[in-house]
Amino acid sequence: MSADLTRRSLMSALPAAAGLAAGMATAPASAAAGRARAPSPAISDAEATARLRDPATRARVRARVAGSCEAETVNIFYRLNLYGFTGDGNLVPFFTLNHLSVNEWTPLPGNRYQARTFECGVYCAFDTDDVLDEWQNPLTGEVRKPFQFLGGPFTVTHGPDGMVAMGAELTPRPMRMEAFGGSLFVSAMADMARPNPVSPEKHPKFSSGPIAYWDTLATTVAPVAQAFDEGVSSADAFHHFQNLGSWHPWLGMGSRAGRTYGRAAGVKVRSLDQIPAQALKGLQDRTPEIFDRKGWTAPRFDILEYMATNPA
C-alpha cells in the first residue's frame, strides 16, 4: 500500500456518512420499544416551538428523535439509491445500497448524548434487494466488482452547543428544529473539501482528483408528541439523507467529471425481523461483521481497505 494511503489521511477526508441522521442487537432497542406503550401526551406545534428555545431541551429532543436520550442501542435501516451525475443531463441510476446503521447511545454530563456508530452496506441492483456480484458501469461500460461497505465506529455527540463528530473529522452542523402539522423536523448538514487520500498521480484509475468532496443533508421526522414525551427514550422516526460525493475508487471512474448522488430513506428498526427478509439475508451474508460488534475492535475505512487489495 502506498505511503499516501494512511489511516490519518483517510480520516481527514472521510465524512460521517449516515451518522448525521443517527448520529445489531437482536433484542429490541429498548424495553419501552419492545412493549406496547400508552399514547404520548398531546402537545401543540406552538408549545413545542416554545420549549425548543431552551438549549438543554433541544439537545435532549434531538437525541430522542435521532436515536435515544438513554443508554440503549438503536438500529436504523435505510434504502440508499445511488446515481451518477456528470454535470450534464439527468441522474443516471447506479445501484441501491441496503444500509444498516447501529448506534450505541449514551447520555453524558452537561445535557449531552453520544452515539457510537457502526455502519454497513450491501450493493444491490438498482431499486431491488438483488445483491450484485458484478456491476456494469453505465457511464464507462466497464464491469466492476462491488466492494461492500463497512464503516466506523465513530461518535457523534449532541449537546446544547451543537454536534461534535469524532473518528471522521467531519462535524455535522445542526439546522433549525421546527414543528408543524404535528411533526417535528430535525435537520443537519455537513460538507468537506480536502486533499484526496487516493493520489491521482499514483492511482489515476481510482482517484477522483486532487480534492475529495462530500456534502450531506439529513432530516429526521418524528411525531411531536413522542419527541417531547419524557416517558419515551427513542421516538419513532422517519430518517432521510442525501449525499453528493466524489467517485468511490471501486467505480473505476478516475478523474471523470461528476460525483455520486445518493438519496436514503429509512426508519428505526426495533428488531431484525423488521428489515425486509431478502435485504437482511444480504446483510448477513455479505457484511456479517455488523452482527458481531464485539469482534469489531478497529476502525474500518472502506476506501483504505479497497485500495489495500491492489485493485485493477
In a domain? residue 75:
yes
First-residue to last-residue Cα distance in the chain: 14
The residue type of 286 is: R
Q: What is the pLDDT of residues 148-195, one digit of tens each?
A: 999 999 999 999 999 998 876 577 899 999 999 999 999 999 999 999
Tell which residue, 154, 158, 135, 130, has the closest CA to residue 146: 135
3-state secondary structure of 269: strand
Q: What is the pLDDT of residues 302-312, one digit of tens each?
A: 898 999 988 87
In a domain? residue 52:
no
243 beta partners: 216, 262
Tell which residue, 251, 258, 217, 223, has the closest CA to residue 237: 223
The pLDDT value given to residue 15:
47
Is residue 234's pLDDT more than 70?
yes
List of residues 6+ apart from 9 with CB closer than 8 A: 195, 197
Tell which residue, 94, 80, 22, 86, has the closest CA to residue 263: 80
In a domain? residue 263:
yes
Q: What's the chain's average pLDDT?
A: 89
Is residue 7's pLDDT more than 60?
no
Is residue 23's pLDDT more than 60?
no
Query: What does the block give as the cell for 248?
Result: 468511490
In a domain? residue 62:
no
In a domain? residue 177:
yes
263 against 294, higher pLDDT: 263
In a domain? residue 45:
no
The residue type of 274 is: Q
- Kindly tell me the burial class for residue 292, based on how many C-beta atoms sit within 10 Å of its own C-beta (0-12, 13-18, 19 or more): exposed
Q: What is the pLDDT of residues 88-115, one digit of tens each?
A: 999 999 999 999 999 999 999 999 999 9
In a domain? residue 183:
yes
Q: What is the pLDDT of residues 117-155, one digit of tens each?
A: 999 999 999 999 999 999 999 999 999 999 999 999 999
pTM of model > 0.75: yes
CA distance linking residue 31 with residue 39, whole number of Å: 16
Q: Measured in whole angstroms, how far is the alpha carbon of residue 83 from the centre of its chain?
A: 17
Domain span holding position 215: 7-34+70-308
Is residue 14's pLDDT more than 60?
no
In a domain? residue 49:
no
Place of cell 404535528: 182
Tell which residue, 304, 296, 260, has the closest CA to residue 123: 260
Tell which residue, 225, 228, 283, 292, has the closest CA to residue 79: 283
Q: What is the pLDDT of residues 75-89, one digit of tens each?
A: 999 999 999 999 999
The pLDDT value given to residue 6:
40
Q: Structurally, how many domains does the chain consist of?
A: 1
